[in-house]
Structure 1
């Protein structure tokens, strides 16, 4: 007879910890500190109180965080969608690739010149801290809406430069030699990973979309489960083909994002739930890997804080700022993007790669990475809303909408479309009677600030209104709700 009491105790502790992590989001909202920062701090302190927690093998930590990032990136890609991504694709790719490389090079130079690291260790530090983090960026911006391209560029960069940073790190660790020679040797492998990842992500996204539209399963819930299984398959297959699996799942999510498909809303909700759970698991595991008091007592605290200051205040604003000059942005928007480049789970995951590879000073490098990330999440993540207000970047908080009502259809409801009124669009400030809806156009429902608005001829639409409209032509009505470009 199996003794269930020890197992039940473990289950009680795990479930209690997960419930506490979920409720931590309320504490995060009150303190205005990003939830990932609280997960990192709580888990790191727990590893001090219960020393056995820190002895999880680093390879297990890597695998857990890798799986978590796969679902976070896919969900983030779906949130962006192809329409938003296409409008800022050039800027995202340019900052994601060139900005990551420039940041890595500058950090490596600073680590070598100011802190005495050899070129090999300095390059690893630069590569690990160069990418921004989708888990933190999506978490901080997830409950907020930013007008214009600023939010799209920040989210897109965080998703695009993680595969770049990971591919760069793998290339450096796999290259023979050291210093600048390692960069030269790893370039071909890096480019191969990017090209294969982009190609498979594009094809897999369209393939998954076709699968979602054509395959009917007997249980509605299986569509969400099947989609998540397909996401894991895309990552694994791309990695086995020597491509960037992270880039592939991110692009697949973008392609699917704003397309219509059966059970799409259910899939989006399920994906968001999985991504939220993945965020909790990833930052908890990362926090357990480093006892906080031990790091604070180490001699690397000053080095980490100094590197964090250089990165946040000088390297990213100066170097990435120069790279953003060709991008058409207002001065405040440009400054916001440069100051809101948050670090998070991916740099710590790259630090785990370094620990596994076992180069000289691996533990020292990992401690420094952890300090820089913790500083970025707490300081930058907390200041994001205040920076937006200071730099006149329009940002509004999206209140939760716990109540919902809807209709389900056996076949695709042709002619029924959902639109959001953009600022400056023809619909913004116009009454329904004044809008050129055409003979077949009809607005059936309006939601404003979470409330249902009566549809009348004299009803005036405002920016941010969600409109449900019937029309024979989606593109004909869509132009009324979009800002002229």
Structure 2
């Protein structure tokens, strides 16, 4: 019985820690400090106060965080969806891929000149710090949702540059011998292979999962989200075994499934949203457990990290984004906002742990610097995001919680029923229902505004943010053009 009590005590501690992590989101709303900062700092403090935690191996942390990132990337892809992603695909790839290389290169130059690191160590540090984390941004924005192109570019960039950064790190750590030219060639081959295989597998996996969702019924509602979850991890595992980027594959798969109409789709989305929140908590908490705070003062990680953090946030990121965004049709305020919100998160720390596991010279110092940069980015930079958004006049809308739902269960798929959200600046924004160009065989059957039902008539004037349910026999792409700006 003593073993049972010990296990129960461990369950109690974990449960209380999880409850505290969930409730910290309320504190985040008040302080505007992203909730992941609390997870990260609390875990780092736990390492100081609970000696047993220090025995957690880096391999275990990497494996747990990898599982969390798979859930986060898939859920992030589903949130974007193919309909929103398609018109911005070129811009997202341009920023996510080219931007990652430019950021890694500039950070490497700064680390070499300012911190005295060798070129390989500096490039590894630059690669670790190149990916961004929009989950931190959206955590501090709370219930405000970015609309327009910025709302797609920001999460799309992170979904693309996380796999890019991981693949680039894999290429660099796999080149330990040969000339600099040989190393560069090997890194390029590994990177290109991972990206190509990851993309192809993501498209194929998305198609297979879509067919499963639509064509293969299951005997119970609760099995549908579990099938999707199993499919996502199977896709990650198979892609990685084939030497592709499993992270890119699950992100692409999520994007392709985001707008798919399928049985129990809402239940699947809610399930993966909850898993994404859990993944965020687990990733930051586990990574925080790997950082012994007492080593920072002795090794100078605080000063090196803060110097590099300021440089990355206020010099490197703005320079890279200015170079990449100058031809895009964005307002000056949106450009500034995108340049400022390149926040660092779980992926840079995970990449730093890869450096430690690879046994690179001065790896512990590099890892500590990465942690300080991420902590600065999340706590200091993250707390300023709402203020910068307001000053830049970035278009947003408040998203109120809607704990009550009104739904109708049907045995067969409802043909000709589509739902759209009226985007700001679209043809439907500010126009009466009777004035919409949606065809004679299409009816607006339901309008939801700010969580409440709106009586529908020909004179009902729509607003940005309204959810509109249509019964249509027309081309849905034509109808979509009335409610979106893409």
Q: Same-fold call, TM > 0.5?
A: yes
69 and 135 in structure 1: CA distance in 2 versus 1, 3 angstrom threshold: farther
1:59 is the counterpart of 2:55: no
1:370 alignment counterpart? 371
Contact 2:133–2:345 (CA under 8 A) maintained in structure 1: yes
1:192 alignment counterpart? 193
1:381 alignment counterpart? 382
Structure 1 segment 19-418 matched on structure 2, within 5 A? 19-140=19-140, 143-177=143-177, 180-181=180-181, 182-295=183-296, 298-418=299-419
CA distance in 2, matches of 1:3, 1:165: 43
CA distance in 1, matches of 2:458, 2:393: 35
CA distance in 2, matches of 1:458, 1:62: 57
CA distance in 2, matches of 1:319, 1:180: 25
2:430 alignment counterpart? 429
SS of equivalent residue, structure 2 residue 444: strand
CA distance in 1, matches of 2:427, 2:131: 39
103 and 402 in structure 1: CA distance in 2 versus 1, 3 angstrom threshold: same
TM-score (norm 1): 0.96
Structure 1 residue 481 displacement after superposition: 1.8
Equivalenced residue count is 484
What are the superposed Cα offsets for residues 429-461 of structure 1, whole Å, 9 maximum, x if unpaired? 222233345432222221111122222333221
CA distance in 2, matches of 1:143, 1:60: 34
2:482 alignment counterpart? 480
1:6 is the counterpart of 2:32: no
Structure 1 residue 74 displacement after superposition: 0.2
CA distance in 2, matches of 1:327, 1:179: 39
SS of equivalent residue, structure 1 residue 433: helix
CA distance in 1, matches of 2:148, 2:21: 33
Contact 2:54–2:290 (CA under 8 A) maintained in structure 1: yes
Structure 1 residue 155 displacement after superposition: 0.3
What are the superposed Cα offsets for residues 124-165 of structure 1, whole Å, 9 maximum, x if unpaired? 101100111254245345743222111211100001001110
Range with greater deviation from structure 2 (256-265 or 141-150): 141-150
Contact 1:68–1:281 (CA under 8 A) maintained in structure 2: yes
SS of equivalent residue, structure 1 residue 480: helix
Structure 1 residue 226 displacement after superposition: 0.8
Q: CA RMSD in A?
A: 1.7
Contact 2:134–2:154 (CA under 8 A) maintained in structure 1: no
- Structure 2, unpaired ranges of 5+: none
Contact 1:176–1:185 (CA under 8 A) maintained in structure 2: no
What are the superposed Cα offsets for residues 167-199 of structure 1, whole Å, 9 maximum, x if unpaired? 111111111238944333311111111111011
178 and 30 in structure 1: CA distance in 2 versus 1, 3 angstrom threshold: farther
SS of equivalent residue, structure 1 residue 242: coil
CA distance in 2, matches of 1:145, 1:196: 33
What are the superposed Cα offsets for residues 47-72 of structure 1, whole Å, 9 maximum, x if unpaired? 11112212210000000000100010
CA distance in 2, matches of 1:183, 1:271: 38
CA distance in 2, matches of 1:395, 1:422: 11
Range with greater deviation from structure 2 (303-312 or 443-452): 443-452
SS of equivalent residue, structure 2 residue 434: coil
What are the superposed Cα offsets for residues 218-249 of structure 1, whole Å, 9 maximum, x if unpaired? 01111100100110000010000000000000
Structure 1 residue 334 displacement after superposition: 1.3
SS of equivalent residue, structure 1 residue 460: coil
102 and 476 in structure 1: CA distance in 2 versus 1, 3 angstrom threshold: closer
CA distance in 1, matches of 2:307, 2:466: 45
CA distance in 1, matches of 2:142, 2:227: 25
2:453 alignment counterpart? 452
Range with greater deviation from structure 2 (1-10 or 34-43): 1-10
CA distance in 2, matches of 1:466, 1:259: 18
- Structure 1, unpaired ranges of 5+: none
CA distance in 2, matches of 1:199, 1:434: 43
TM-score (norm 2): 0.96
Contact 1:73–1:159 (CA under 8 A) maintained in structure 2: yes
Contact 1:103–1:320 (CA under 8 A) maintained in structure 2: no
Structure 1 residue 308 displacement after superposition: 0.6
CA distance in 2, matches of 1:177, 1:136: 38
